[in-house]
Structure 1
Amino acid sequence: MSDQSILARLDALESRVAIERLISSYAQGFDSRDPELVKSLWFDDSKLLMGAFGEYEGLDAIVKAADGFWNQIRHMHHWMANVIINVDGNKATSRASLDCFIIDNEDGPTQIGGLYTDTFERRNGRWGIVIRNFELHYQTPLSGWKSKQGTDS
């Protein structure tokens, strides 16, 4: 095995780890209401395409959308699962299943499920999300749900 082959394989593995971190950081950033973390995931020309929840083009629009979600939803908890990542040099794609519990100001406790399809690029040595497209599979208000930790208030 050549040194170039080993370096290419190492780069692909490091890229995959960086992309997994972006996917998890997206969930953590939204759940913890961290605008700086959310902002760090994207490029100036990125797109967040959320279907019925809105389409946001550009970093400023994405950060503003996050703030809007935080105003509408007083608690959210994302679980990202079944992540499949394909890396090709400085570009990558992924699909990740979402299960998200929220407490919405209007609907109250609600379970949301869907699929994120993502496009990533490495620019100037940094991986970022270029396009994040969300496909909603279900949005189900949970009547009678009560928290023992106080998140239902």
Structure 2
Amino acid sequence: MNLETLAARLEALESRAAIESLISAYANAFDRLDPDLLRTIWHADAVLDLPGFGEGAGPEGIVAMAHNSWRKMPHMHHWMANPLIRIEGDVATATVAADCLFHDIEKGPVQVSGLYHDCFERRDGQWLFTKRRFELHFLTPLENWKPIAGSETFGGI
């Protein structure tokens, strides 16, 4: 194997790791109600589109949209799975399955499942989201659901 091939393989692995970290940071930012972390994963012209939940443009618009979501759903837990990532130079796309448990202040505990459609770009050597759109598969109220162990701060349940 020559050095060019090895360098290309290393770049592909580093890009994939950076994109997977962005996907994880998104879930952690929403679950921990962390606007500072959420702000760091978007390019200035990025868009987050969560049909039925809100839309935001640019890091500050996305954080503002998140604050609205956090008021309505003060507890969130995202599981991100099966990232199918395609990288072509400095542009990448991905689909990511999501299963989420939310405590909605009006509906109570709900399970939300769907698929994220993502776009990323590497600018000035840094991968960040340019677009993230959620495709809702289902939202299911979890009637009579109560945790029997865990944090007492779990959304006031």
TM-score above 0.5, yes or no: yes
> What is residue 138 of structure 2 aligned with on the other side?
138
> What is residue 64 of structure 2 aligned with on the other side?
64
Q: Secondary structure at the match of 2:30?
A: helix
Gapped runs of 5+ residues in structure 2? none
Q: Secondary structure at the match of 1:26?
A: helix
The answer on 1:121 being equivalent to 2:121 is yes
Q: Secondary structure at the match of 1:65?
A: helix
| CA distance, structure 2, for counterparts of residue 54 and residue 4 of structure 1 | 44
| CA distance, structure 1, for counterparts of residue 49 and residue 75 of structure 2 | 21
Give CA-to-partner distance per residue, 1:61-113, whole Å, 9 cap, x none: 10101111111112100000111111111111110000000000100000000
> What is residue 26 of structure 1 aligned with on the other side?
26
| CA distance, structure 1, for counterparts of residue 42 and residue 7 of structure 2 | 26
Give CA-to-partner distance per residue, 1:16-47, whole Å, 9 cap, x none: 00000000110011001111100000011000
| CA distance, structure 2, for counterparts of residue 73 and residue 147 of structure 1 | 17
Residue 55 (structure 1) shift: 2.3
Percent identity of paired positions between Structure 1 and Structure 2: 47
What value does the CA root-mean-square deviation take over the aligned residues?
1.0
TM-score (norm 1): 0.96
> What is residue 4 of structure 1 aligned with on the other side?
4
Residue 52 (structure 1) shift: 1.8
> What is residue 83 of structure 1 aligned with on the other side?
83
Residue 2 (structure 1) shift: 2.2
Paired positions, count? 153
| CA distance, structure 2, for counterparts of residue 53 and residue 74 of structure 1 | 14
TM-score (norm 2): 0.94
Residue 51 (structure 1) shift: 1.4
Deviating beyond 4 angstroms after TM superposition, the runs of 4 or more aligned structure 1 residues are none
| CA distance, structure 2, for counterparts of residue 56 and residue 33 of structure 1 | 16
The answer to whether the 8 Å contact 2:53/2:69 transfers is: no
Q: Give the AA of the match of 1:6.
A: L
Q: Secondary structure at the match of 1:52?
A: coil
Q: Give the AA of the match of 1:74.
A: P
Q: Give the AA of the match of 1:100.
A: C
Gapped runs of 5+ residues in structure 1? none
> What is residue 92 of structure 1 aligned with on the other side?
92
